[in-house]
Amino acid sequence: MSKVIYPGTFDPITNGHIDIVDRCLKLFDRVIVAVGYQVEKSPLFTVDERLEMMHEVLKERKNVDVDTFKGLLVDYADSEGAVAVVRGLRAVSDFEYEFQMALMSRKLLPSVERIFLVPAEEHVYLSSSVVKEIAGLGGDVSQFVPSIVAERLKAKQGGK
């Protein structure tokens, strides 16, 4: 059974993230959407809140697991028996960073491939940061995130 890790912060999960999960399901038997604990980031939602939203949003998709990991992604991928790690690419700047990470990952764990997927055109501009900014300024984010996420953003940011 081929298994892929789709890691990220997912603060919050967007329709672009979901698009990448759906693309992964066409290529792999099992997808693990893994929230990484990153000390250098200051997320709006706690890890538990993100996991809860992701479980709700992805519950209808068979062969998708939601998990967390700490430490090196290559160690996590190895422990899960993944054949690959997938990352979404939206822009050239994403590629530059991900290319560097892929080369380093290959040095650390050559048996796990790094795969880049491009989201559907309607999601290329989407990022969790932009969604949080729009929501924080009282904008409607319902076209960018599932309804449960839009509701949570509104509640978290004081109902603006």
- Catalytic residue, from 105, 114, 128, 132: name it: 128
The superfamily in CATH containing domain 3-121 is HUPs (3.40.50.620)
Specify whether 128 is catalytic: yes
Share of the chain above pLDDT 90, in %: 77
CA distances from 74 to 11, 30, 38, 80 (A): 22, 17, 15, 10
SS3 149: helix
At 39, the pLDDT band (50, 70, 90 cuts) reads: low
- Catalytic residue, from 3, 61, 90, 154: name it: 90
The model's pTM is: 0.92
**The two three-digit tokens of residue 67, written as one number:** 């998990």
Specify whether 17 is catalytic: yes
pLDDT the model gives residue 157 = 78
- Catalytic residue, from 17, 87, 114, 123: name it: 17
Specify whether 59 is catalytic: no
pLDDT the model gives residue 97 = 84
Residue 152 CB burial class (10 angstroms; 0-12, 13-18, ≥19): buried
Sorted by where each begins, the domain ranges of the chain are: 3-121
At 159, the pLDDT band (50, 70, 90 cuts) reads: low
DSSP secondary-structure letter at 160?
A: -
Name which of 159, 120, 152, 139 is nearest 43 in CA terms. Answer: 152
- Catalytic residue, from 41, 42, 93, 107: name it: 41
